[in-house]
Amino acid sequence: MFAVVIIAGKQYKVTPGDRVVVDRLKRNVGDTVVLQDVLLAGNGKTLVGAPTLPNISVKAKILSHEKGEKVEVRRFKSKVRYRRHIGFRPLRTKLEILSVGA
């Protein structure tokens, strides 16, 4: 069975056993998270929510918290010597999908 779920404001297609890296969740490592915002689910028959499916949830386990790849933002305006540079590493959470279903 697969599902399209909203995690931290972004949509992910998940199946049991998948490992997904998402934006930082404010939970501890080892906690089990129940995700209720399921937009679409399928197992031979596809169920589409309007906007979400009320009876289906996704269970996930938090494996680790880590930093992502460095993101560099540069701004430049021609002819006025305006240059700005900023870089940061976004905080990420690695999840393992345990189950998809009711």
**pLDDT, mean of residues 31-37:** 94
Say what percent of the chain tops pLDDT 70.
Answer: 100
**pLDDT, mean of residues 26-53:** 92
pTM of the complete model = 0.83
Residue 2: pLDDT band (50, 70, 90) is very high
pLDDT at 33 over 90: yes
User: Per residue in 51-90, is it b (16+ CB within 10 Å) or e — as a string?
Assistant: eebeebbbebebeeeeeeeeeeeeeeeeeeeeeeeeeeee
Round the average pLDDT of the chain to a whole number and report it. 94
